[in-house]
């Protein structure tokens, strides 16, 4: 299901999609045209790194879950580190519980000297945090945030840190926009490929990142898509009101 709810600075209308439709986009991208999740995740992480760098804040602390959202955060940490930004990672889980593309991202990260810590006590132990990168949960939220993710969100909010969220602010339902318990309050959300219907009421700036999905995928899913990016790799969106 899509609703035409976002518009670019040049007036292009961008269809918003539910979490279910986004899963279908991922499925057709992988099974239909051969784009791998790891490729899309890497594109997501690199664009996120650009937006985090633009805050001018250091250190950046990437708070990462164990799914696709977390994997994008791990890629972001590596791209920031490659460009001499001070960065650390706080996982909400033991790295051994990572799987698929997120585990592949962690394996690469583990070859670097980026500090990786686990749990809310480690987040609280930072003397100073320039910006929190919220890569805990994206469109895979299944209900009110549970610990440890909830504790990490509450600590982030307690600190009052600047926050940049990946895809969907953690704790907000990607389809309905409901906050089902605790949720972060990002200044910027970098959402991926297409905006989600639940982002209409999203606080702060909304940036849409191209993660390399060819438009044929949208055509196959009958999603009315006018290229919103032109010569840009990411663009700012406003609600279409």
Ligand X SMILES: NC(=O)C1=CN([C@@H]2O[C@H](COP(=O)(O)OP(=O)(O)OC[C@H]3O[C@@H](n4cnc5c(N)ncnc54)[C@H](O)[C@@H]3O)[C@@H](O)[C@H]2O)[C@H](O)CC1
- Is 134 within any annotated ligand binding site? yes
Q: Does 44 bind ligand X (CB under 6 A)?
A: yes
Q: Which does 134 bind (CB under 5 to 8 A by kind): K ion, ligand X, none?
A: K ion
**What gap in Å lies between CA 214 and CA 129, rounded to an integer?**
37
Q: Which x/- pattern over 124-153 shows residues binding ligand X (rule: CB under 6 A)?
A: -------------xxxxxxxxxx--x----
| Nearest alpha carbon to residue 191 among 12, 19, 3 | 19
Give the strand order in the sheet containing 188-192. 13-17, 2-8, 234-239, 205-209, 188-192, 162-166, 131-135, 60-64, 87-91, 116-118
Residues engaged in binding K ion (CB under 5 A): 69, 134, 138, 165-166, 170
| 143 annotated to bind ligand | yes
Residue matched to tokens 């051969």: 34
* Residue 170 in marked binding region: yes
Q: CA 227, CA 19: separation in Å to the nearest integer?
A: 21
Residue of 2, 8, 14, 26 interacting with ligand X (CB under 6 A): 26
| Residue 77 makes contact with ligand X by CB under 6 A | no
CA-based nearest residue to 117, from 62, 57, 53: 62
Closer CB to ligand X, 129 or 193, in the complex: 193
- Is residue 155 near ligand X by the rule CB under 6 A? no
DSSP one-letter code for 95 = G
Nearer to K ion, 165 or 175 (CB): 165
What does the binding site for ligand X look like in residue numbers (CB under 6 A)? 22, 25-26, 37, 40-41, 44, 65-72, 137-146, 149, 166-168, 192-193
């Amino acid at each position: 299901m899509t609703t035409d709810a976002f518009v670019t600075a040049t007036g292009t209308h961008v269809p918003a999609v539910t979490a279910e439709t986004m899963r279908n986009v991922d499925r057709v991208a992988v099974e239909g045209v051969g784009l791998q999740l790891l490729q899309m995740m890497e594109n997501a992480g690199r664009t996120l790194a650009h937006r985090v760098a633009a805050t001018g804040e250091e250190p950046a602390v990437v708070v990462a879950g164990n799914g696709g959202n977390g994997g994008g955060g791990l890629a972001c940490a590596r791209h920031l580190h490659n460009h001499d930004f001070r960065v650390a990672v706080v996982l909400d889980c033991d790295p051994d519980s990572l799987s698929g593309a997120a585990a592949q991202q962690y394996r690469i990260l583990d070859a670097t000297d980026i500090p990786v810590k686990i749990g809310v006590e480690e987040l609280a132990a930072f003397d100073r945090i320039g910006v929190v990168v919220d890569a805990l949960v994206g469109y895979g939220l299944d209900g009110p945030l549970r610990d440890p993710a909830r504790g990490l969100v509450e600590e982030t909010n307690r600190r009052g840190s600047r926050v940049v969220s990946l895809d969907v602010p953690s704790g907000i339902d990607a389809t309905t926009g409901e906050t089902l318990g605790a949720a972060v309050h990002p200044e910027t959300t970098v959402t991926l490929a297409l905006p989600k219907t639940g982002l209409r009421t999203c606080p702060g700036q909304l940036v849409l990142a191209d993660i390399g999905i060819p438009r044929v995928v949208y055509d196959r899913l009958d999603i009315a898509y006018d290229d919103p990016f032109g010569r840009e790799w990411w663009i700012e969106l406003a609600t279409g009101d």
